[in-house]
Structure 1
Amino acid sequence: MKKTVITIGIIVVLLLGGLLFLQNVNINRLGTDSYYTQVIGDGEPIESQTSSGEIYTDYQYSLSGYNTDGNEITLDFKATKQLRQGAFLQVFVKDDKVVTSYEEVTTDEIPEKVLEQLQ
């Protein structure tokens, strides 16, 4: 009886820990490099259709991005909405090519070396 209670307790703790991990960690950002960019210009609209026939629009962007060392790369990615003109983004890149995620940041969150190159 004691072993069963301990086993069930361990399983519950592992399940709760797994749920907390999934809620609080963006898996798309694990093992990526951070680059910073500024949205310049409108994204190119790309219309697509779901299997049910619903039409939706993504926006394709191609922007210059800089890492904390000041190295520049071209960031090609899609967004599900038109990004705000002039917004600063932190872009998460895997294998120096694949953008896995991005988020809007303030100028206070951008390293000074990178901010000089963006402005």
Structure 2
Amino acid sequence: MKKVLLVFAAVILFIGGSGYSWYISNYQGANYYVFISEDCEPTEKEVKHKGRKTTQYTYLLKGYNEKGESQELELKTFYKLIPNTYLEAFSNKKKKVTSWVERSRDEIPRQPLEQLE
């Protein structure tokens, strides 16, 4: 009986560890701050979204994390972004940019703000 419980516990721990590892690789990442300048032109592509044809805009931007380290980001959206705005983009290695939020200049940490200006 003890052996069965030990095997069962080992299987549960393995499944839990695998699930946690999958979650970390798919959903954990870093925040990067970007600036949408006036000369930042997206590439446009016709795609099907929810059964309709629509235009997808892809922006290639340089983002900076709180330490001031840079990374090239590919941000995709179904509408054009407003020029002269700051964004905080959440990015991970597997899914790239997964979400972003508009931020005011005062909300950007000092290190990335120096790099963006």
TM-score (norm 2): 0.69
Following superposition, the deviation at residue 31 of structure 1 comes to 2.2
Within a 5 Å distance, the mapping from 1:59-78 to structure 2 comes to 59-78=57-76
Describe the shift of the 1:96–1:111 C-alpha distance in structure 2 as closer, same or farther (beyond 3 A).
Answer: farther
The aligned residue for residue 33 of structure 2 is 36
Describe the shift of the 1:73–1:96 C-alpha distance in structure 2 as closer, same or farther (beyond 3 A).
Answer: farther
CA distance, structure 2, for counterparts of residue 96 and residue 118 of structure 1: 25
Contact 1:42 1:82 (C-alpha < 8 Å) held by counterparts: no
Following superposition, the deviation at residue 32 of structure 1 comes to 2.4
CA distance, structure 1, for counterparts of residue 78 and residue 67 of structure 2: 30
Query: Which portions of structure 1, spanning 4 or more consecutive aligned residues, are displaced by more than 4 angstroms?
Result: none
Describe the shift of the 1:50–1:64 C-alpha distance in structure 2 as closer, same or farther (beyond 3 A).
Answer: closer
CA distance, structure 2, for counterparts of residue 106 and residue 88 of structure 1: 6
**2:97 is the counterpart of 1:118:** no
Following superposition, the deviation at residue 51 of structure 1 comes to 7.4
The aligned residue for residue 19 of structure 1 is none
TM-score (norm 1): 0.68
Following superposition, the deviation at residue 49 of structure 1 comes to 2.7
Segments of structure 2 that go 5 or more residues without pairing to the other structure are: 1-26
The aligned residue for residue 17 of structure 2 is none
Identical amino acids, percent of aligned pairs = 33
Contact 1:75 1:97 (C-alpha < 8 Å) held by counterparts: no
